[in-house]
Amino acid sequence: MAYQAFDVKPIAGALGAEILGVDLSQDLGNQEFDEIHQAFLDNKTLCFRDQSLTPDRQVKFASRFGQPDIYPYIKSLPGFPEVIEILKTEQDTMNFGGGWHSDTSYLPQPAMGTFLYALEVPDSGGDTLFTNMQLAYENLSSAMREMLDDLIGVNSSAQNYKGGRAASMKKLDGMKGKFIESSEVSVAEHPVVRIHPETGHKGLFVSRAHTTNFKGMSVEESQPLIQFLSDHAVRPEFTCRVRWRPGTLVLWDNRCTQHFALNDYNGQRRRMNRVTLRGDRPV
C-alpha cells in the first residue's frame, strides 16, 4: 500500500521494513499512527532508526497499539512496570531470547506485539532474526496444513529450562537479581495454526522453545513434528535480519512471527528496553 506520512523500505522479501521519517519522541497524529499500524500489519516487523526514547515515551507509543503488559519473569524498571531491561554484559556467554520463539506463547493471552529499543549495542553482532509464520504455513503441503489445522499445542515457560527459568537465567550476569523467583511455570494450550485477529491470515504458532507436545499426544509422539515445523518455519527465505544501532526501535507482531536474538558478541555489551502488549486468546 502507499503511505502518505512516511517512507517504507522493505528489509527482505518475507517480512520486515524500515519506517523513514517518523519521530517517535513526539505525539503522533491519528493519520500517521493509522498508517504505522497498517505498515505493522503489512510488514509484521517494523524498524525505526535514530529514535530518542525514554521508557515513558516507549510505553506511550506502545499504548497506541494496545495494552502494555507486565512480563511475569523479570522485574521491571523502577517506576515503569511495563518496561524490562535486557542486558548482556561483557562477562556473559548466554543471552536472553537466543532461540526461535514468539513472546510468552505459554500464557493464555500471549503477547500481541513487542517493542524493543536499543540503548547499547556491540560493534558487530547481536542482530535479531525474524521469521514470517504465515509464509511458513502457506508453504506446507495442503495435506499437512489440513492435519495441523486441528492440532492444539501445549506451550510451557519451562521448556528448555532445566531446573527452572529463573535458575537458568540467573547464570546471566546482566540479568542477575532481575528474575522473579516466585513466578510459576506457565502452561497454555493454543491452536498450532492461529488466525490473525486483524488480517484473518493463518499462520503457524508452534516452536521448539515453548511447545512441549500436542494435546492428546505424548511428548515422544509430538516432538518429531514440532522439530520439523520449527526447522521449516525458519527457512532463510521466510526470514529477515535486523542490525541494531543505539536508538533503533523494532516492533514485531508475535501473532505471525518468531524471532531469535543472535548470541555472537561475547565480550561486548548489549542493552535493550522491552515493552510487550497483551494479546488475545489465539483462535
Q: How far is the CB of 27 from ligand SIN (least distance, A)?
A: 26
Residue 261 binds ligand SIN, judged by CB under 6 A: yes
Q: Which residues pair with 128 in a beta bridge?
A: 242, 261
d(C-alpha 190, C-alpha 206), whole Å: 9
How many residues of this chain bind ligand SIN (CB under 6 A)? Answer: 11
Is residue 105 at the binding interface for ligand SIN, with CB under 6 A as the rule? no
Q: Is 272 in the site for ligand SIN (CB under 6 A)?
A: yes
Which of 69, 101, 165, 253 is catalytic? The answer is: 101
Taking the least distance from each CB to ligand SIN, the nearer of 140 and 251 is: 251
Q: Is residue 259 among the annotated active site residues?
A: yes
Query: Is 274 among the catalytic positions?
Result: yes
Residue 51 contacts ligand SIN per CB under 6 A: no
Q: Is 196 a catalytic residue?
A: no
| The one among 47, 86, 87, 229 contacting ligand SIN by CB under 6 A | 86
Please identify the residue of the shown chain whose CB is closest to the bound ligand SIN: 97
Q: Which CB, 86 or 240, lies closer to ligand SIN?
A: 86
Considering only residues 174 through 203, tell me which ones interact with ligand SIN, judged by CB under 6 A: none
Residue keyed to cell 504465515? 134
Q: Which is nearer to ligand SIN, 97 or 225 (CB)?
A: 97
Stretch that binds ligand SIN, among 9-17, 56-64, 95-103, 186-194 (CB under 6 A): 95-103
Q: Does 128 bind ligand SIN (CB under 6 A)?
A: yes
Which amino acid belongs to residue 2?
A: A
Chosen residue from 16, 97, 174, 203 binding ligand SIN by CB under 6 A? 97
Give yes or no: 190 in active site: no
Query: In this chain, which stretch among 5-13, 38-46, 96-104, 166-174 interacts with ligand SIN, using CB under 6 A?
Result: 96-104
Minimum distance of ligand SIN from residue 209's CB (angstroms) = 9
User: Whose CA is closest to 110, among 171, 43, 215, 189?
Assistant: 189
- Of the pair 31, 91, the CB lying nearest ligand SIN is at 91
Give me the phi and psi of 7, to 5 degrees please: -100, 150
Residue 107 touches ligand SIN, criterion: CB under 6 A? no
Per-residue 3-state assignment (H helix, E strand, C coil) for the chain: CCCCCCEEEECCCCCCEEEECCCCCCCCCHHHHHHHHHHHHHHCEEEECCCCCCHHHHHHHHHCCCCECCCCCECCECCECCCEEEEECCCCCCCCCCCCECCCCCCCCCCCEEEEEEEECCCCCCCEEEEEHHHHHHCCCHHHHHHHHCCEEEEECCCCCCCCHHHHHCCCHHHCCCECCCCCCCEEEEECEEECCCCCCEEECCCCCCEEEECCCCHHHHHHHHHHHHHHHCCHHHEEEECCCCCCEEEEECCCEEEEECCCCCCCCEEEEEEEECCCCCC
- In this structure, the number of other CB atoms found within 10 A of the CB of residue 210 comes to 30
Binding mask 208-247 for ligand SIN (x = CB under 6 A): ----------------------------------------
Q: What residues are annotated to the active site? A: 101, 103, 259, 274
- The residues that touch ligand SIN, with contacts defined as CB under 6 A, are 86, 96-97, 103, 114, 116, 128, 259, 261, 272, 274
